[in-house]
A and B are shown apart, each in its own frame.
Chain A
Amino acid sequence: SQQGEEDPQALSIQEGENATMNCSYKTSINNLQWYRQNSGRGLVHLILIRSNEREKHSGRLRVTLDTSKKSSSLLITASRAADTASYFCATALFTGANSKLTFGKGITLSVRP
């Protein structure tokens, strides 16, 4: 079963607006990652936040993590048409040298020019 559950399932915004996507999960994690997938392509890693971190920034991306609520949010500021894609959160759990990612179903983001 997939641990991450993203919300909303689909999001449509105007170029220049901010996009906020949420992810909830059920069990303990070591880190949480966000990926982007353009239609017909593989996944591209966007940002990783560790379980002892609360907020992280990378360019126009801001991710937060609340381990008490088992939730994360991804904010894309000043969106562009090129941000149109599916976004997935994935929770990572380490066992020794092993790292297992569990993905949610994804959010479809459409940015209108």
Chain B
Amino acid sequence: EAGVAQSPRYKIIEKRQSVAFWCNPISGHATLYWYQQILGQGPKLLIQFQNNGVVDDSQLPKDRFSAERLKGVDSTLKIQPAKLEDSAVYLCASRTGQSTDTQYFGPGTRLTVL
């Protein structure tokens, strides 16, 4: 079974530029999460989708971050414009629709904002 795929793996941009990350969850997984992990810290949830609907986006900085999950499969996370403090690893995770199931994480995208 293929795991969670993310691209790109690394991205370097200048501040005020925009950037987009892509995630392809495990086939059949209804729930998809985006996390931000700043160096030296644990992952922080940004947004959770159930199929193509948003379940929780309370910690998403909506003035600059946006995410979508069209057709309930792939998802993209966008930052526009980027700030220096957005430098982090962005992790995508997925699980089945059952709340008791574990989350499976992708390898992440390491973003550096200069």
A45, B42: Cβ atoms closer than 8 Å: no
Q: Are A98 and B48 in contact (CB under 8 A)?
A: yes
> Are B50 and A44 neighbours in the complex by a CB distance under 8 Å?
no
Q: Which residues of A contact B108 (CB under 8 A)?
A: 41-42
Size of A's binding interface in residues, CB under 8 A:
27
**Contact partners of B44 in chain A: CB under 8 A:** 2, 103
Are B91 and A42 in contact, with the CB atoms below 8 A?
yes
How many residues belonging to B are interface residues under a CB distance threshold of 8 Å? 29
Q: If A42-B91, A97-B98, A98-B55 touch, does A105 touch B41 (CB 8 Å cutoff)?
A: yes
Given known A98-B50, A98-B55, A99-B95, contact A105–B107 (CB-CB < 8 A): no
Contacts A42-B91, A43-B43, A106-B41 given; does A96 touch B99 at CB 8 Å: yes
Chain A residues within CB distance 8 Å of chain B:
2, 4, 30-31, 33, 35, 40-45, 48, 88, 90, 94, 96-106
Interface residues of B (CB under 8 A from A): 4, 31, 33, 40-45, 48, 50, 55-56, 91, 93, 95, 97-108, 110
